[in-house]
Amino acid sequence: MDASWDHLLLDCTLATLDGETGYGFIENGAVGWRNGVIAYAGPADALPANPKVLAERIESVDGALVTPGLVDCHTHLVFGGDRAGEFEMRLHGESYEAIARAGGGILSTVRTTRAATEDDLFAQSLPRAQALVRDGVTTIEIKSGYGLDLETEMKMLRVAHRIGARLGVTVRTTFLGLHALPPEFAEHRDDYIAMVCEEWLPAVAEEKLADAVDAFCEGIAFAPDEVRHYFEAARKLGLRVKLHADQLSDLGGAALAAGFEGLSADHLECADESGVEAMARAGTVAVLLPGSFYALRETRMPPIMALRQRGVPMAVATDLNPGTSPLRSLRLAINMACTLFRLTPEEAVRGATVNAARALGLHDRGKLSVGQRADVVVWKTRKPAELAYWIGDALASRIFAGGAEMQLRT
Ligand code: DI6
Ligand code: FE
C-alpha cells in the first residue's frame, strides 16, 4: 500500500466531538489527513494498515489532547480605535445604554472606523484575529456594522477577507447593516432602512462580500418590524440571517430569527420560552456570548435550562467587539460559559466547535471525522475539560488549518 495520506498523528488523546453528545473521547487515537481533508480519526489499533505505510509524515504527539479547530462564530473584530474610556465611564456609574444614547457606544467606533484607511484598519484588526488563532481558532466569523455607510461597510468586509487570507484560516463574513442608526440619518430612520434593504444589501450580495446578514434588535438599535423588513430583503437575495436577539430586553428576537430560518439567535439573556420553542422548531442555534454578559456585569442569564430541554444546539463565541466584549480568547469564553452560565465543559467545548460550525451553516468542520476539513489542534493538555478549566495563557501547541501547519509566532 502506498503512503497515501499526507500526515498522520499518533498517540493522540482524541476529543473528536463526533456524535450527538459528549466529547467523542478516544484514548490512544490517531488522526490522518490527505489534501486538507481528514482520512481517519479513531483508535490507533483500528488503522487500516501499519501506520508506517499510511502517510508521508508520521508523528507521535505523546498523549496530547487533539481536537478539531475551534470556531468563533460571532465577532466584530474589525474596527478602528478602542473604547477603554467608556469602560472607565461605566465603572463610574454610566450605563451602556446612556452612553449609546449620548452619541458614544457603537457610533464612537463608527467614527474611528470611517476615519481609518483600509490598510490601517487591517493593521489594527489583524492582531485581534491572531490572538484568537494562537489559542486554537481556525474559523472566525467577522461582522461589518461599524461603517454604516456603504463604502466603510465594504471596507470592513474586505479587511475581514484579507485577515483570513493572511492567516490561512477561514473567515466567514456577515453584513451587519442594522447595527445603529448613523447620525446623518437621525431624522430619517425609514430612509436609512429602505436604503440598506434596497441598495446596500444587493450591492453586498453582488460583490459576494458577505456570507450572511445580521441586525441588532434592541431598544437602542432596531425594532422587530424594521428587522423583519431587512430580513425579507436578505432572504430574497438568498442570504441567510442571524440576529443579536433579546440581549438587554425581550423584543421577541429569538422567534423573529427563527421565523426566517435563522442560522442563529445570539445573546438571548432576555429570551422567553416561546422564543426558545420557535428556535427548536426552526433548528436555529443559540449563540451564547458570556464575554458581553461579563463586561456589562449583566445578571440575567440566558434560558439555558429551556434551551437544553428543547434540544436547541448551544454555541459559545467571543463577541469580540470594542464596546461590550473586548475578549480576545475563545477559550476564555468557553470558561465563562461554564462559570457564568453553568454550561458543562462538554457543552461549552461542543459550543465552540461542532455547534459553532452549525451556527455558520458549515457542515465540513467542527468535529474530527472522515471527510471533514483537516482543522486540527494539538493542545498542551490531556483532558478535554482542561480547555474550559485553565484561565489565561494559550494552550494550543500545534494548529493545522486545512491540513497546513500554522506558524504560531506570526
Ligand atoms: N454586539 C453588538 O453588536 C452590540 N452588542 C453586542 O454584543 C454592540 C457592540 C458595541 O457596543 O460596539
Ligand atoms: Fe455582537
pLDDT at 2: 60
CA of 292 to the centre of ligand 1 (A): 8
pLDDT at 117: 98
d(CA 408, CA 23): 26
79 is written with which cell numbers?
474596527
pLDDT at 410: 46
d(CA 406, CA 410): 9
Determine the residue of 244, 264, 266, 298 to mutate for testing ligand 1's pocket, defined as the one with the most ligand atoms within 8 A of the Cβ atom: 244
Contact in structure between 69 and 375 (CB atoms under 8 Å): yes
CA of 186 to the centre of ligand 2 (A): 22
Ligand sitting nearest the alpha carbon of 323: 1
Radius of gyration over every alpha carbon of the chain, rounded to an integer in angstroms: 21
- pTM for this entry: 0.98
Task: Give the CA distances from residue 358 to residues 258, 260, 316, in Å, rounded to whole numbers and listed in that order.
Answer: 15, 16, 12
Q: Which atom of ligand 1 is nearest to the CA of 216?
A: 3
Phi and psi at residue 176, in whole multiples of 5°?
-110, 70
> Is 109 near ligand 1, meaning CB less than 6 Å away?
yes
Nearest alpha carbon, ligand 1 atom 9: 323
> Is 324 near ligand 1, meaning CB less than 6 Å away?
yes
Ligand sitting nearest the alpha carbon of 295: 1
> Is 147 near ligand 1, meaning CB less than 6 Å away?
no
Q: Which long-range contacts (CB under 8 A, 24 or more apart) does 259-264 make?
A: 260/231, 260/232, 260/235, 263/212, 263/359, 263/360, 263/361, 264/73, 264/74, 264/315, 264/359
Q: Which atom of ligand 1 is nearest to the CA of 325?
A: 7
Nearest alpha carbon, ligand 1 atom 10: 323
pLDDT at 3: 72
Per-residue pLDDT of the chain (410 residues; tens, 9 = 90+): 567 999 999 999 999 999 999 999 999 999 999 999 999 999 999 999 999 999 999 999 999 999 999 999 999 999 999 999 999 999 999 999 999 999 899 999 999 999 999 999 999 999 999 999 999 999 999 999 999 999 999 999 999 999 999 999 999 999 999 999 999 999 999 999 999 999 999 999 999 999 999 999 999 999 999 999 999 999 999 999 999 999 999 999 999 999 999 999 999 999 999 999 999 999 999 999 999 999 999 999 999 999 999 999 999 999 999 999 999 999 999 999 999 999 999 999 999 999 999 999 999 999 999 999 999 999 999 999 999 999 998 999 999 999 999 987 64
d(CA 10, CA 13): 9
**All structural domains of the chain:** 5-68+365-405 (2.30.40.10), 70-359 (3.20.20.140)
pLDDT at 237: 98
Contact in structure between 243 and 214 (CB atoms under 8 Å): yes
CA of 130 to the centre of ligand 1 (A): 21
> Is 323 near ligand 1, meaning CB less than 6 Å away?
yes
Short-list 388, 311, 310, 314, CA closest to 351: 314
Short-list 326, 291, 328, 317, CA closest to 131: 328
Longest Cα–Cα distance of the chain, Å, equals: 72
CA of 321 to the centre of ligand 1 (A): 6
* Cross-strand partners of 25: 15
* DSSP letters for 235-277: HHTT-EEEEEESSSS-SSHHHHHHHTT-SEEEE-TT--HHHHH
Q: Which atom of ligand 1 is nearest to the CA of 143?
A: 3
Contact in structure between 393 and 332 (CB atoms under 8 Å): no
CA of 356 to the centre of ligand 2 (A): 15
Locate cell 456585569: which residue? 297
